[in-house]
Structure 1
Amino acid sequence: MTRRILKQGGMAVAGLLWVLAWMSPPAPMAGASAVPREAQAAFEKKAYQQALDELAKLDKERSAAPDVRRLKIRSLINIGKPKEALDEYGLLTQSLKRDDELVLREVALGMIVVLVKDMREQMRGAAYTALKEIDSADAVPFFEDGLSDGSAPVRALAVEGLGRTEAGRKSKKLRGALEDPAGEVKARVVKALGRSGDHSVLPLIETAAKDELSPVRIAAYAALIRLGKKEAWEDLRKAADAANPDDRTDAIRAMADLKDQRGAPLFMELLTYSQPSVRGIAARGLGQLGRKEAREKIELLLKDPIPGVRESAVSSLADLHSVESVPAISLLLSDGQMTVRAAAVASLLQLGQPFETVVETARALAQQSDTAARASIAFALGKASKPNAKAAVSFLGSLTADPLPGPKIVALRSLGHIGDRELIPLMKDSMQDTNEAVRATAAGALLHLLQLKP
């Protein structure tokens, strides 16, 4: 498999079809006689433009043959023109009267990969975020390539992508990223290595536990605990008592992520802490630990003066499956802060409340001129539980027509999480969007949906 997907500094996609092998086995060229021998030979030599030039010589009838179109699509993808490939794919489906899912996967992946070397950080970030929707170890080479990106946030996304699969967590390049100059990247690397279950990384994590940056040390304590070093709990517990509120929140988050019930008494105590971020993360931690006895105390935070704390509390109650808290959560549908209203919508939908109970709030947020409000409700609807999924999908579909990319991107991502294969036509349409980040997001959602059983 080709390990370097894009030519450095260029837009040509090298060897992309090899990477696509994980999606499904290559289809045989049933009508191979329709494909000129010269075009096929050029393609096999990776002379993709030459292959296209040969195909351009064909008469109209022969150039419309399905196998000719497939070769043209694949050649366009490999020279970094996925939008033109998508146009050609539309003609292929017209002649076949159906989707060719193998080719559709190739087009969708090409739509994402073409952005991983874009000059704009935002577009590269969109590409790696979309790649995270692909649940396959064979996406590892893409993420490994992203570890050398010039942007720390993009490298962090690449680390997250590697952390999603066993193969990624065992990547040698991931280990090498422990030398990354950015603390946020190093901390995520340590976290991913801790989840690998590979005890050979212990020396690396033990070194990270002495790092000069506290986020890296805290991530290392949690990683050591995951790998059986129970004595690291004392270091993590001390970090939770740190004077720096950021260190406290990092340590509490790590305890909650570990699902370690030893943290519950501390979280209960911190629900009244003076620093808002600490109160909020303590509430979320109790939700993650499933501590239902904390429900009433968490409900008190629904009246906290800080919006972020109210959001954390309402999300925690959803994690606790606290149907008893529905009346209190419902009051937040009229909260003065739009992000809190959106969080209340998400929580109620997670708790299985009828969509009708939140639709008025959802509609009001979707109609606001504030882009963040529209994005917030798009994100919230992506949290809908199965009984509410159909109604949420219908509402989200309207948000994909937003005039600005931000809300559309969030809506498409939410649809990919709660939708089914019936949304494939919508994702194909969204891959025609004028904005590259929207197209990449739709492609990632499409690839995720194609992995679902028909």
Structure 2
Amino acid sequence: MVLSIPHLATAAPSSPKPAVPSLEQQAMTLYQAAEYNRVLELLQQLPPGQQPGLEVLRYSLLSHLKLGKPEEAWKLYTKLVANNRPDEPALLREIARSFIVTRVRDTQEHIRIAAYTALAEMGESDTLPILEDGLLDSSALVRARAAEAIGRAGLAGRSSALKRALRDEAPGVRIAAINALSDAKVSGIADQLTEIARVDEGPESIFAFAGLYKLGRTDVLTDISNAVTLPDPEVRMAALGMLGRLRRPASLSILSQAVYDPHPAVRAFAAGALGEFGSTDGIAPLTHALSDENPRVRSVAASSLGRLGDNETRSVVQPLLRDPDEHVRISAVEALLRLGDASAVLNAADLARHPDPSVRGGAAHALAAATTPNALAVLESLLRDQQPLPRLMAARALGKLQQKSLVSPLKAGLQDSDPAVRIASAGSLIRVLSPKGKQGSAR
């Protein structure tokens, strides 16, 4: 026994086996190395019945986002917050954002328009490369929406592509670029605007004049005002619209007189411009427009009275709740809600049951002006409508309300069968989660 002791003492110790990284560590390492597909392979290789840890779910979800697959990311998010775990706003916001940005090159034009509309409402500075890419789209409507979005995001001064859009072949795109650049008072465009105003004889010249006015050329206000008497009704409409936006006191009488124009579309523009102008001195001409023979004029006049915010005008708007035209009734509901008449929600609920989906969609749009809980109930029911248009309008309306309680129904909208509704739900979800557009990234 004594002789065996030295033998035991000199025996070589066994070397410890290297530790195998946990699944969570492997997922983190692969994600940090941008091996996103391999992160997803880890998830797929789990034995049947074994539930992944929360961090594995998180890295898999983020990998789907990096690969441009928001629908797959959403499926994992529902597992991440299962069992009554709270929402993660930053992560949810990233998923919603991906629902939008992955659709900007969709093969369907109306889907791309929906995506750029949502980007315009988001107004985020880091979307500039995507928005400038939209200026190269084959669709003039998409290009115009991208130009508008650049302006609304406050990026016009940083975008050389937007300046090039002043030479776009489509007038609508050029007009959107003029508005965005002049609103931002971007220098170096005055000569181009002067040339457009001199050469063009249509509505584009009016927008060019308005752009010059915003850049300090106050003398061109006379050119805009005089255009209200020109023979072309489209030019008259453009001039009235710009006078309403510029809000110069001398323009109020011009706008008030225009509600008597022989062309109904011009009268409707005049009514809208009075609402944009924002003066209670416009109540009298708008009240006259409420009895116009054309339903479009009556509809716009009612909406404008609601925007003016004078509660005393409720009595002149309320009769329109019985107007034979459904869309006039929708505008009356919207106006009354803006004027604080909560009972108008009942009229909206009635319109939300109308057999025409465009009327149900209009009811959803009107309810964006409401704040009462019963209005939210109507909107949530419209978000489950059988037709996509009411669901789309309801999703947009919920975003305008910007209440945290709306996260749940908007999350349901991300699972809608229609991609345009999913995009609208995602845009509204972003607004609800970060009303000021300032939310930390989860990436």
TM-score norm. by structure 1 comes to 0.86
Residue from 387, 390, 395 that aligns with 1:404: 387
Q: Which residues of 2 match residues 255-274 of structure 1 at below 5 A?
A: 255-274=243-262
Q: How far apart are residue 40 of structure 1 and its match? A: 4.4
Q: Which residues of 2 match residues 364-443 of structure 1 at below 5 A?
A: 364-384=350-370, 388-443=371-426
SS in 2 for 1:231: helix
Whole-Å Cα distance in 1 between the matches of residues 84 and 348 of structure 2? 40
Task: Confirm or deny: 8 A CA contact 1:239 1:251 kept in the other structure.
Answer: yes
Task: Confirm or deny: 8 A CA contact 2:348 2:366 kept in the other structure.
Answer: no
Residue from 76, 100, 115 that aligns with 1:112: 100
Higher mean C-alpha displacement, 409-418 vs 113-122: 113-122
Higher mean C-alpha displacement, 51-60 vs 316-325: 51-60
Is 1:187 the equivalent of 2:170?
Answer: no
Which sections of structure 2, spanning at least 5 residues, go unmatched?
Answer: 1-20
Q: What CA RMSD, in Å, does the superposition of the two structures yield over aligned residues?
A: 2.2
Q: How far apart are residue 323 of structure 1 and its match? A: 2.1
SS in 2 for 1:148: coil
Q: How far apart are residue 169 of structure 1 and its match? A: 4.7
Whole-Å Cα distance in 2 between the matches of residues 204 and 44 of structure 1? 48
Whole-Å Cα distance in 2 between the matches of residues 41 and 255 of structure 1? 59
Task: Confirm or deny: 8 A CA contact 1:183 1:213 kept in the other structure.
Answer: no
CA displacement, residues 398-426 of structure 1 (integer Å, 9 cap, x when unaligned): 11110111100101101110141111111
Instruction: Name the counterpart of 2:198.
Output: 210
* Alignment-mate amino acid for residue 90 of structure 2: L
Whole-Å Cα distance in 1 between the matches of residues 293 and 393 of structure 2? 28
Whole-Å Cα distance in 1 between the matches of residues 291 and 39 of structure 2? 65
Whole-Å Cα distance in 1 between the matches of residues 248 and 202 of structure 2? 21
Q: How far apart are residue 255 of structure 1 and its match? A: 1.2
Q: Which residues of 2 match residues 9-158 of structure 1 at below 5 A?
A: 34-37=23-26, 39-40=27-28, 42-58=30-46, 64-94=52-82, 97-158=85-146
CA displacement, residues 252-294 of structure 1 (integer Å, 9 cap, x when unaligned): 1011111122211211222211111222222222232233233
Whole-Å Cα distance in 1 between the matches of residues 363 and 373 of structure 2? 16
Which sections of structure 1, spanning at least 5 residues, go unmatched?
Answer: 1-31
Question: What is the total number of aligned residue pairs between the two structures?
Answer: 417
Instruction: Name the counterpart of 1:28.
Output: none
Whole-Å Cα distance in 1 between the matches of residues 85 and 199 of structure 2? 59
Q: How far apart are residue 44 of structure 1 and its match? A: 4.1
Is 1:166 the equivalent of 2:154?
Answer: yes
SS in 1 for 2:218: coil
Whole-Å Cα distance in 2 between the matches of residues 107 and 323 of structure 1? 41
Higher mean C-alpha displacement, 343-352 vs 107-116: 107-116
SS in 2 for 1:209: helix
Whole-Å Cα distance in 2 between the matches of residues 201 and 41 of structure 1? 50
Whole-Å Cα distance in 2 between the matches of residues 222 and 215 of structure 1? 11
Q: How far apart are residue 299 of structure 1 and its match? A: 0.9
CA displacement, residues 168-201 of structure 1 (integer Å, 9 cap, x when unaligned): 4531111111121110110010011111123333
Q: How far apart are residue 317 of structure 1 and its match? A: 1.4
Residue 44 to residue 168, structure 1, CA distance change in 2 (3 Å): farther
Q: How far apart are residue 137 of structure 1 and its match? A: 1.5
Higher mean C-alpha displacement, 416-425 vs 315-324: 315-324
Task: Confirm or deny: 8 A CA contact 2:24 2:55 kept in the other structure.
Answer: yes
CA displacement, residues 20-54 of structure 1 (integer Å, 9 cap, x when unaligned): xxxxxxxxxxxx954344x5455445443233224
Instruction: Name the counterpart of 1:320.
Output: 308
Whole-Å Cα distance in 1 between the matches of residues 286 and 75 of structure 2? 52
Higher mean C-alpha displacement, 440-449 vs 230-239: 230-239
Whole-Å Cα distance in 1 between the matches of residues 382 and 197 of structure 2? 45
Instruction: Name the counterpart of 2:8.
Output: none
Residue 396 to residue 219, structure 1, CA distance change in 2 (3 Å): same
Q: How far apart are residue 58 of structure 1 and its match? A: 4.2
Query: Which of structures 1 and 2 has the bigger CA Rg?
Result: 2
Is 1:300 the equivalent of 2:288?
Answer: yes
* Alignment-mate amino acid for residue 400 of structure 2: H
Task: Confirm or deny: 8 A CA contact 1:177 1:186 kept in the other structure.
Answer: yes
Whole-Å Cα distance in 2 between the matches of residues 213 and 182 of structure 1? 15
Residue from 222, 234, 253 that aligns with 2:222: 234
Whole-Å Cα distance in 1 between the matches of residues 247 and 33 of structure 2? 52
Q: Which residues of 2 match residues 324-339 of structure 1 at below 5 A?
A: 324-339=312-327
Task: Confirm or deny: 8 A CA contact 2:314 2:336 kept in the other structure.
Answer: yes
